[in-house]
Amino acid sequence: MRILLVEDDPQLRSLLNAGLTAAGYAVDEADNGRDAHFLGDTETFDAVILDLGLPMLDGLSVLKRWRDAGRKVPVLILTARDNWSEKVAGIDAGADDYLTKPFHMEELLARLRALIRRASGLASPVLQCGALALDTRSGRVTLAGQPVALTSHEHKVLDYLMHRPGAVVSRTELTEHIYAQDFDRDSNTIEVFVGRLRKKLPAGMIETVRGMGYRLT
């Protein structure tokens, strides 16, 4: 899953990036509202962590512009402002959740997982597809109760597919959601990861829809 992290404090941004990356997310950064708005308008993200007190363009204005343009990406507001009226303004502007600084990284990750699940129409933190299960809290993957060992990229591909059960997902879409913008993307490697996953999962679970992509069934 790909996250846009918008925070102007370089130390906090670095700590958040490290925590998100360790949790398996692909992370793009912006340290001001102007760049954040541009990235949100031109790139594809599964969620946004958005600070309100930003230079050039404040976070609330960025959020309003995204929503006015029809951008539906889940947004978690991150703010040092412990003022209920500003929280209400953020929610009314289209935020999906908020977190007040200081906070624990574990809480941010839990809220982020919940936002991404809800955006996919999923309620449980454990994603199921037949005998296959992926616990989004721990990252643990099991098949009929037995652990399945996956590399980080195999896990990212499976995680994205399991958030979209039954949907056809193209190689381009997978590439956009498992790599950050500055990563040397190659959609051909997706075929390699899918091939490896198929060897570890029941036959036919990941099917190829000719000319369109892959579907988890």
Q: Where in the chain are the domains?
A: 2-119, 126-216
In the chain, the amino acid numbered 138 is S
CA-to-CA separations, 95 to 4, 19, 30, 54, 78, in angstroms, rounded: 14, 22, 18, 16, 10
For residue 189, the model assigns a pLDDT of 84
Does the domain at residues 2-119 carry the CATH identifier 3.40.50.2300? yes
Question: How many whole angstroms separate alpha carbon 67 and alpha carbon 74?
Answer: 11
For residue 88, the model assigns a pLDDT of 85
Query: pTM score, two decimals?
Result: 0.90
**175: number of Cβ within 10 Å:** 18
The count of residues in the chain is: 217
For residue 185, the model assigns a pLDDT of 62
For residue 25, the model assigns a pLDDT of 96
For residue 183, the model assigns a pLDDT of 64
Rounded mean pLDDT for each run of 10 residues along the chain, 217 residues in total: 96 97 96 97 96 93 96 91 77 92 94 95 92 95 96 94 93 89 70 94 94 93
Please list the alpha-helical segments (H only) found in the chain: 10-22, 33-42, 59-68, 84-92, 105-119, 152-162, 171-178, 188-200
Instruction: Write down the CATH number for the domain with range 126-216.
Output: 1.10.10.10
For residue 196, the model assigns a pLDDT of 95
